[in-house]
Amino acid sequence: MKKQTPPGPEPAPAKKTTAPAEKTAVTAKKATPAAKKTAGAAKKAASTAKKATPAAKKAAATSKKAPAAAKLPQESRTALVRRARRINRELAEVYSYAHPELDFENPFELLVATVLSAQTTDLRVNQTTPRLFARYPTPEDLAAAVPEEVEELIRPTGFFRAKTKSIMGLAKALTEDFGGEVPGRVEDLVKLPGVGRKTAFVVLGNAFGVPGITVDTHFGRLVRRWRWTEETDPEKVEAAVGALFPKSEWTMLSHRVIFHGRRICHSRKPACGACPIAPLCPSYGEGETDPEKAKKLLKYEMGGFPGQRLKPPADYPGKPAPPLAEG
């Protein structure tokens, strides 16, 4: 009889193998909360992007309309100097009568008037100073004045309390330190109360004949528009522009540029269509280019209106400004 081999253990049932597709489905099913969260965030981002589309389109359209002047090629130093000097020559022809637009009879009056001109117009200063100087004609007189009386006289110029303190302080300094005379050096002038480099160069250039560049808001705005410099700090502007011209031109250059800024090249809406130096200006087109419309933007004598001085120079082609109305 053939010996029978005892039966072995039953083979373990085969493990159920999950198909790749099924496995993926299971995994996805388990990850549903996180996946839903991610999907929700993505959906929200897409919705936000969709809503921002109009603004993005508008910004893109605006950038396409940017003036071509912003993409001008780099100008060499030699070309810059030539263009700057040509602009100065053109302005000299247009404003052959350029002058300081503050009325004054001596260095002291010019110094005080320049300090008072901060944050107001030269016209308002010129309308105010006649009574002030009639009452206090010398530094000694002003230094000994009653502050409240000075405040009342210069009230029309604004910031009258601070300005009273400055002009009485400089009058006292002139009396005690300089024998009642206005010094003729920038180092001395800037030590006086309320006197900075701009004021110092106005006085030096127009009362003493010492060349200087006056960097006021008009001057700074125009030299940046003309790409003479990108500086905004007044002393750096002064240095950068001064390097483009001989010293002998500095004072009159300042007057011409300031005249042009007040009459034609205004801050908000330059009269580009009436500008005599338009072909030399890299910012042409920032303002009104239509000649007829531009003419209506001209100010003072350019527009046929009174200037800022009550007593302008003899060669001034415009009308004298009227005195301050009584009231």
Length of the chain measured in residues = 327
User: What is the C-alpha radius of gyration for the chain, rounded to an integer number of angstroms?
Assistant: 37
Is residue 297 within 8 A of residue 272, CB to CB? The reply is no
Distance of CA 181 to the CA centre of its chain: 34
Is residue 287 within 8 A of residue 269, CB to CB? The reply is yes
Distance CA 287, CA 272 (A): 5
295 belongs to the catalytic site? no
Annotated catalytic residue, options 191, 216, 295, 299: 216
- Tell me the CA end-to-end span of the chain in Å, nearest whole number: 147
Distance of CA 287 to the CA centre of its chain: 16
290 belongs to the catalytic site? no
Is residue 57 within 8 A of residue 226, CB to CB? The reply is no
Taking alpha carbons only, the member of 194, 191, 210 closest to residue 157 is 194
Specify the DSSP class assigned to residue 143.
H
CA 75, 81, 82, 87 dihedral sign is positive
Is residue 67 within 8 A of residue 230, CB to CB? The reply is no
Is residue 191 within 8 A of residue 166, CB to CB? The reply is no
Annotated catalytic residue, options 103, 122, 163, 198: 198
Distance CA 102, CA 118 (A): 12
Catalytic machinery residues? 198, 216
